[in-house]
Structure formats: C-alpha cells, structure tokens
Amino acid sequence: MSEAGIGSGQGTRAWLLSEYPASRMQARLGRAYATWLRFAANRLAVVGLAILIALVLVATFAGVLAPHSPYAGDLAGARLLPPLSPGHLLGTDDQGRDILSRLIYGSRLTLAVVLMVAVLTAPVGLLVGTVAGYAGGIIDTALMRVTDIFLAFPKLVLALALVAALGPGIENAVIAIAITSWPPYARMARAETLAVRHADYIDAIRLMGASPLRIVLRHVMPMCLSSLIVRVTLDMAGIILIAAGLGFLGLGAQPPAPEWGAMIASGRRFILDQWWVATMPGMAILIVSLGFNLVGDGLRDALDPREAER
Amino acid sequence: MSPTVAAASRTGSRPAARLWRPLLGLIRFAAVVATTFLGLLAVTFFIGRVIPVDPVLAVLGDRAPASAMERVREEMGLNLPLWQQFVLYVRQALSGDFGTSVLTTNAVMDDIRRVFPATIELATLGTLIGTGLGVPLGVLAAVKRGSLTDQIVRVIGLVGYSVPIFWLALLSLLIFYARLGWVAYPGRIGVAFEYSFTSTTGLYLLDALWQGEWEVAWDVFRHIILPASLLGYFSLAYISRMTRSFMLNELGQEYIVAARAKGLSEARIIWCHALRNAAVPLVTVIALSYANLLEGSVLTETVFSWPGLGLYITNSLQNADMNAVLGGTLVIGATFIGINLLSDLLYRLLDPRTHAR
Amino acid sequence: MTPMLTVEDLAISFATRTGRFEAVRGVSFTLGRERLGIVGESGSGKSLTGRAIMGLTPPSADVTARRLAFDGIDLLTAPPAQRRALRGARLSMVLQDPKYSLDPVMSIGRQIVETLRTHERVSRREARERALDMLAAVQIENPARVFDLYPHEVSGGMGQRAMIAMMLIANPELLIADEPTSALDVTVQLEVLGILDRLVTDRGMGLIFISHDLRLVSSFCDRVLVMYAGRVVEEIAAAELAHARHPYTRGLLACVPVPGHDRHPLPVLDRRPEWRL
C-alpha cells in the first residue's frame, strides 16, 4: 500500500481513483469505489438502497420497534381502528391487532423468503449454466432442455401447483418459488460462459494445465457474477410479489403469521369500509419491491457502464 | 428455442443443402416442441403423482368413500410401475383427458374449454392496452433520454414491476367501482343480460359487437375494462421499458446517422427506421408479456371474480382439486409454448435477414 | 469566386468528468468545386469535422466557429429545419461501412427512393425510375434486381455503391465521404473509388474525402489537410506532398512502405505533445 494512501479524505479518494494502482488490492478497491460512485450518482438507486437498509434494520430490530404485539389484539376495544388513531399509527385490523406492528414483524418473513430463495436458486442456476456452457455437447443440450421446460411454465402457476401438492406453508412456498426461479439464472450464466469460453485467457489457463473444474470455478463463474447479482436483485422484487400472491391465495404463510400478502387477503373483506386494513400491507410490499428494483437497476448501470450508455 | 431454429434455417450454401435444410429445421423445431411438451407433462405428473403421499387422496379429497378411492386408484393405474403410469398419463393428457374435477364433477377438459375464452379475452385486451400505450411511451423515453419525461416513464415502469397486482386490483375496485361507480362488478356481464345473451365464441365483447347488441357490448365493456386496464398496466411496464432499451440501441446505429444525412425528418427516422428495426425484438417481448398476462390473470381474476382459467385454478386449489389444478397448469404451459412458436414465426416475418431466398 | 464552403476556426468540444475535452480546435479551410482530402489518425477529429459540417455531431458535442457557411448560409445559426433541408439535397455524406449504414430492414430501392422523395415532389413511378438510373450510374449491373434486395443480401462493394446512389440521387453539390472504402476489400476499393471519382467529376461536385490513408488521399484529391489531435497541422496541394514541411506529415509519408525496400527498423510515427498546442 502506498504511503500517501491514508491521510486526509482527499488523499484516500485520490488513492482509490489512481490511474496507476500500485497493488492488486488498490486496483480492486479502486474499481469498487468507481462502481460505488457510479451507483451513488443515480439518485433513484440510492433511494432504493435506503429502502433496503431500512428493511434490514426494521427486520432486525422488530422487537424494539414494534409498539404492540403482532399476534395479540384488543378484540374488545380496538377493532378496525382507522389510521392515526392514538397508539395505532396505521390503524388496527379486524382482530384489533396493530397493523404497524404486524408490518414490522412481517418484514422478517419477507426478508427470510427473499434470502432463502436467493441462496437456494442463484448457486444452482450458476452451476447448471456454467457447466452447460463450458461442457457443451450433449450435457449442454440436456441441461438446457430441462431449463427450457421450466421456463415454459409461468412462474406463479407452477408455484401454485407445487404448493397445492406440497401443502400450504411458508417453507413450501419458498421451495416452490425456488424451483421456479433458477432457470433464468442458468440461461444467463450459460450465455456468459459461452462468451468467455473461447477467450484467449481461458485457453492460456488451459494450456497451463488447469482442470476443467478449476477453470469453471475460478475463471468462468467470476465472470458471470456481476450480471447474476444484478439479475438476482431485480428478481427479488418478483419473488416478493409471488410470495405475497401465494400468501394472498392462502397458500403461503398461515395465519396468524403477519405475512403481508395474507394480511391483504384478510383485509379484502373490509376493503369497502375499512380500506386501510388491506392498503397498508400492499404499500409495504410495493415499497420493498420497488427498493429491490431500484437497487437492481442502479447496480446494472454501475456494474456495466456499456449497458448504462444505452 | 427460437435461436437454434433460426440458426438452423438461416444457413444453407449448396443448392442441395438449401433444399432440405428448412425441412431439417422444421423437424428439429418439432422435436424441440415435442420434448418441451413432454417435459411439461413430466413436471405435472411429478407434482400430481409423486409428491403427494397418496395421489388418490389428492384427487378425491379425504371424504370420499373407500369404493370410489379403489376405483380411482385403478383408473389412475397406481398399481403399475411409475414409468407405465407416466405413459398412461401422457396418453390420457394427449387425448385431452385430465380426469374429473371433484369440485364441479365435470371432466376437467370441459371445464377448461368453458372458462378459457374469458381469460383469453381479458389477456388479449390487456396486451392491446399495454402495447398501445407502452410502445409510444418507450419510444418517447428513448428519444427524450435523460429528460423528465424519461424519468417519469421509468418510474411508471418500475412501479408496475413492483406493485402487487391483486392489491392494485382491490384498490381500483374500491375507487372505480365502489366510490365512483364507473365500472361494473363482479364477473363478465351484468345479471340483466346473463341469460338473454348467448356467446358463440366465448369472447363476449367480440360476440356482442358482432351481433350488434350495443347495450350488451357496453355492459360487457364496463365489466372488462378495469381488469384489462390493470393487466394492461403490467404489460405496459414491461413493454415500455424494453421499447426504450431497444430504441436506444437502434438510435445509436450508423444507419440512423445515414438517415439524418439523407435529410429525413426526425419523426420519420424514429417511426419508420428506428422503431421498424426495434419491432423485430419487440415482437418477442410482446408475446412474452401476453404469456405473462395469462399468469397475471390468476390473481386478477380472483379479485374481480372473473370466471376464467385463473379463477378456476384458484378455486380448485382452495378445494384441493388436484386434477383441475394440474389440467389448468398444463393448459397454461401449453399456451406458453404456442405463443413462443407464434412469436418465432412473426419474428421471421419481420426480419428480412431470416428470410430464405 | 466565393467558395462553396467556408470553415473558420471550427472547434468541437465535449464535457467530460474531468473537464472539457476539445476534440477539434481552430480548424479553418475553404472549399470550392474541388476535392479536399482530410487525413489523420483515428481520434484526430477528421470525422467530427465532417459531421459538424453536416450538422450530425452527437447532442453532447458543443460546436463553435467564427464562421461555418455553406453557399452563403450560416450553418450555425440556421434553424434545424433549414439544415435538414440542406442535408441529402445539397450536402450529403457517405459513411464507412454499408453493413451498418444501410437500414437492415428496408429494401435498398426503398432507401434510395426515400432520399429522393424527401427532397423532391416526384411520383412513385418516377422516383423508382430515377433510383434505377442511379443504381445503373453506380455501375450496378442489374438495377431492377438489386432494387428489391435487402442490405444483408449484397456484398460490401455493392452495398457501398447503393449507399453512394442513395446519397447522390438528389444531386447534392457537396459530398463528404467519411472513410468510404476502408471497410471494403482491397480489390473492391479501387472500383468504388473510381465510381465516386467519375460521379463527382461529371456532376461538378465538391468533395471532402476523409481517410487515414495518406497515399490514397494524395492520389485522389487536389488538396490535403493533415490533422493531428484536433488541429490542422498542414495544408498542402496533393502534388506538393513530397515537399511537406511539417514533421508529422513527413512521418506519415515515411510510414508508407516502398516495394522492394527492406527497412529495419520500421519507422515509428513521432507524436510530439507540442503539436497539440
């Protein structure tokens, strides 16, 4: 690390943005910083990031933040109170439960679903795609055929059928969504792999005697990562919507869990007179999934300046 | 599936090869479609027969008498090995036999035939709305790139991507039906006309207009416009975004510079050159969004009590009617494949580079 | 005689993150009904100069000049509609690669007709006749067949001829040819140049020929501007090129291989920072 590196803020910045990095780490950090600058220049993306950070914080500190219990309501005294009622900022539902508290606790479910699906699907898609793309031939054809079959199903409908067979519940909803979500990642990873497969540097690595496994793991997969991250981030919005849709149909999280989609379903009966019961959880879903979309959009522009040029 | 097929038929150098290449392409194409469809069946078979502990229970529910259980077990061939069961399943599915619905006691295929036109009508109108508004908005955003208009179009699109459709449906019902009274609800047609009006194609709006029943047509329109607009908004979000991206790509091409050098007006450059080129990939996008609307209709139909395939599937789900659920799933999957085929055909029609000479 | 085109102190700059980037500075020349070559390496600003005359610089470019006039019309103050009316009709431009500069989904004939019908009120039938004549004029053997072909169906040389036909059909007075043969096979290059040469001579047009190939330009043009890093470093009659004074021009000339001579080491082009000033 260069000596001039640490010092004033200005110095750090100059060190990061140096055209002549002295070490590999400096180059890497510098590139990350340049990406961050491009990301931060996009105001909408920063808004999205703020939403996501808020989501994580709210989910983590739900116990502290929530003014009431998400499960126990005051059936006698506080049924269907409108928003801005004393003690109930967003009103209460038909069982006298505080909607705000339920939303705060529900953020945990939402975050859990999204993370679970991402953890389950992204590696699978990456593996299938890179292996298919690198191996080629019959393996490629077979894997892509399977991928195409899953792509031929509309996501939500397939997830519905799966949950119908597996039985309702949030774990099964996650499994069903995961099964329907990996094919696009596989397709994308395969396309990226095909693009780098015959690059000279891969040939060079092969000449040096690297095994196919090493080539795929160390040299092909990293090339796919940035587009995969963008894609996964953008898809998280869709995952939230599908999970909420399953919840709305009564196939996701079961009552009394404060899942946002299920909350909309239970508020549906009162939509004409007590509009807030269904409206508030919908707003929550909208904001969070908008956050993922904004961040994904910003990431794409920041990670791929070529694409942003368009 | 489209790139392989296009590539297969695009090449062709020697005269002999030119003659039978397209035929080979066709055979390959058919093989791809067949395997995809077979795969579809395999997936539904797996969901229906392998996942449940007792498929008979899944089909009949737990209140059925033991004799019925035994009969169904026989019918489904559950005592056969799994692969024979699958062959039987495929044979039944290909002959349009998806079993009987517990809920309606009809053959699932008959039920689907009855409800599917409602979904088609809704999704088609939705796509028309989405394309009619989405393409011009996308073009506008691309042309005025970076401007306020561009930002607004972008936000409209992003919200469309992010909003739960069933929630928006509920809110719009609250506003446009309950508060303003502009639209009709529920279903496809008012009680006043339900029995006097006979639809031959199952597409009410078209039939009403065709028969010159203006009053009926207006009533049908008041029923369909809200759900169709909602679906339209979703396809608009997708289509406007893709249109913008395709248009920006085309506007950066050299032939646009050449068109300017010729002295063409901006309007002509945008609509006759750039959009005409962008239309080639757009066809695929529009087809895809149509297919997505079939899916989006599941939730929308549930909220609007629209008697289509989506409502049929969710109703069956709530009653654990597996035959109906899987039949509906299969039909939607098959429609997906069909739409993809169609978009592939259209693509080649629009792009002279894929024409065989 | 007043010149057809006057360029005085032309400057083109772009705003970048690190400040203003001046791509072209202080370029001045005049042009009559003659052939002017502009030579330079890539990035020297030669193409931008051509596009600025056409009014086709990207929106992010800032174009200024003491004077930029075509036939007495001040191009910088002319309203966009007037500039558009000039383009294709009086000022025209041939681009580098027909593979990209022809609209891929419109038949060649329709693209040629489009230019004509934009600038002249002619019937469909007459426009077709004239397009066919124009295709014949660029020495395409079977105009009627080529008329209905799409750009991807013809060779590069054929495509560039179609491009020339499209740009000349409205009888412009000045043609800017931006590397018109660089994307073509060597064997076709001379053919296309010959066609361009004849058309320009026969019609008494002015020509700005932009190229990186000094030898080609010197054999084809009357006068040569040598550009380096956005500036004109030398203006010289093509015949006098052997007596070029500027070291950069001489360096470019020295890069031209001479058959039969084996030179070791190969000369490296000298690029001194002070020439940028």
Give me the CATH number covering residue B324.
1.10.3720.10
Q: How far is the C-alpha of C211 from the C-alpha of C189, rounded, in Å?
A: 13
Lowest mean pLDDT among A10-24, B213-227, C105-119: A10-24
Q: Which has more confidence, B236 or A158? A: B236
Segment A136-172, tens digit of pLDDT: 889 998 898 889 888 877 888 889 888 888 888 899 9
Lowest mean pLDDT among B235-244, B305-314, C265-274: C265-274
Tell me the mean pLDDT in the region A249-260. Answer: 89
Percent of chain B clearing pLDDT 90 (strictly above): 43
Dihedral of CA A104/A155/B247/A231: which sign?
Answer: positive
For A46-309, give the CATH class.
mainly alpha
pLDDT at B1: 38
Q: Quick one: pLDDT band at residue A196, thresholds 50, 70, 90?
A: confident
Contact of B68 with chain A, judged by CB distance below 8 Å, is answered with: no
Tell me the mean pLDDT in the region B94-100. Answer: 85
B217's tokens: 């047509």
All residues of chain B having their beta carbon less than 8 Å from the beta carbon of residue A241 are 162, 164-165
pLDDT at C1: 55
Q: Are A147 and A183 in contact (CB under 8 A)?
A: yes
Q: Which has more confidence, C187 or A177? A: A177
Q: Where along chain A do the CATH 1.10.3720.10 domains lie?
A: 46-309
Q: Which has more confidence, B5 or C5? A: C5
- What range does the domain containing B298 cover? 119-354
Tell me the mean pLDDT in the region A190-205. Answer: 86
Q: Quick one: pLDDT band at residue B2, thresholds 50, 70, 90?
A: very low
Measured N-to-C along each axis, helices C108-119 and C156-168 cross at an angle, to the nearest 10 degrees, of: 10
All chains having 3 or more CB pairs closer than 8 angstroms to chain B: A, C
Measured N-to-C along each axis, helices A99-135 and A137-152 cross at an angle, to the nearest 10 degrees, of: 150
Q: What are phi and psi of A83, to 5 degrees?
A: -60, 155
Segment C4-33, tens digit of pLDDT: 999 999 999 998 777 788 899 999 999 998
User: b/e per residue, B308-343, with b = 16+ CB within 10 A?
Assistant: bbbbbbbbbbeebbbbbbbbbbbbbbbbbbebbbeb
Lowest mean pLDDT among B121-125, B148-152, C171-175, C249-253: C249-253
Tell me the mean pLDDT in the region B230-249. Answer: 94
Contact of B253 with chain A, judged by CB distance below 8 Å, is answered with: no
Residue B10 has pLDDT above 70, yes or no: no
**Is the pTM for the entire model greater than 0.80?**
yes
Residue B6 has pLDDT above 70, yes or no: no
Strand partners, C237: C223
Find the residue in B nearest to C150 (Cα). B352
Does B126 reside within a domain? Answer: yes
What secondary structure does DSSP assign to B187-216, as a single string?
SSS-HHHHTT---SSS-HHHHHHHTT-HHH
- Contact at CB, B313 and A157, closer than 8 angstroms: yes
Q: Are A243 and A261 in contact (CB under 8 A)?
A: yes
Segment B168-201, tens digit of pLDDT: 999 999 999 989 989 988 888 888 888 888 888 8
Residue B102 has pLDDT above 70, yes or no: yes
Residue B279 has pLDDT above 50, yes or no: yes
A55's tokens: 């989501």
B157–chain A nearest CA distance, Å: 10
Does B287 reside within a domain? Answer: yes
Contact of A166 with chain B, judged by CB distance below 8 Å, is answered with: yes
pLDDT at A226: 83
The structural domain count of chain B equals 1
pLDDT at A8: 52
- Contact at CB, B162 and A289, closer than 8 angstroms: yes
Contact of A294 with chain B, judged by CB distance below 8 Å, is answered with: yes
Of B264, B276, B355, the CB nearest to C118: B264
Lowest mean pLDDT among B6-10, B52-56, B205-209, B261-265: B6-10
pLDDT at C252: 81
pLDDT at B130: 96
Tell me the mean pLDDT in the region B105-129. Answer: 93
Q: How far is the C-alpha of A264 from the C-alpha of A277, rounded, in Å?
A: 7
Segment A30-67, tens digit of pLDDT: 888 888 888 888 888 999 999 999 999 999 999 888 88
Lowest mean pLDDT among A116-130, B184-198, B209-223: B184-198
Contact of B354 with chain A, judged by CB distance below 8 Å, is answered with: no
CA distances from B58 to A159, B55, B72, B311, B319 (A): 17, 5, 11, 20, 10
Segment C119-164, tens digit of pLDDT: 999 999 999 999 999 999 999 999 999 999 999 999 999 999 999 9
pLDDT at A72: 83
Residue B14 has pLDDT above 60, yes or no: no
Look up the ipTM and state it.
0.90
Of A149, A162, A250, the CB nearest to B47: A162
Contact of B43 with chain A, judged by CB distance below 8 Å, is answered with: yes
Tell me the mean pLDDT in the region C47-71. Answer: 92
Does B58 reside within a domain? Answer: no
Q: How far is the C-alpha of B321 from the C-alpha of B102, rounded, in Å?
A: 6
Q: How far is the C-alpha of C64 from the C-alpha of C25, rounded, in Å?
A: 9
Contact of B349 with chain C, judged by CB distance below 8 Å, is answered with: no
- Contact at CB, C102 and B258, closer than 8 angstroms: yes
Extract the runs of DSSP E, i.e. beta strands, from C65-120: 67-70, 73-74, 91-94
Percent of chain B clearing pLDDT 70 (strictly above): 91
- Contact at CB, B171 and A282, closer than 8 angstroms: yes
Find the residue in B nearest to C97 (Cα). B254
B9's tokens: 């038929």
Residue B61 has pLDDT above 80, yes or no: no
Q: What are phi and psi of B101, to 5 degrees?
A: -85, 130
DSSP A85: B
pLDDT at C127: 95
Q: Are B321 and A160 in contact (CB under 8 A)?
A: no
B198's tokens: 């006979």
What long-range pairs does A133-137 form, CB within 8 A, spacing at least 24? A133/A189, A133/A190, A133/A191, A133/A192, A133/A193, A133/A194, A133/A197, A133/A220, A134/A193, A134/A197, A134/A212, A134/A215, A134/A216, A134/A220, A135/A212, A136/A197
Tell me the mean pLDDT in the region B45-51. Answer: 83
Segment A72-115, tens digit of pLDDT: 887 877 788 888 888 888 888 888 899 999 999 999 999 999 99
Does B97 reside within a domain? Answer: no
Q: Which has more confidence, B48 or B114? A: B114
Q: How far is the C-alpha of B346 from the C-alpha of B44, rounded, in Å?
A: 30
Q: What are phi and psi of C8, to 5 degrees?
A: -130, 120
Question: What is the C-alpha radius of gyration for chain C, rounded to an integer number of angstroms?
Answer: 19
Contact of B101 with chain A, judged by CB distance below 8 Å, is answered with: no
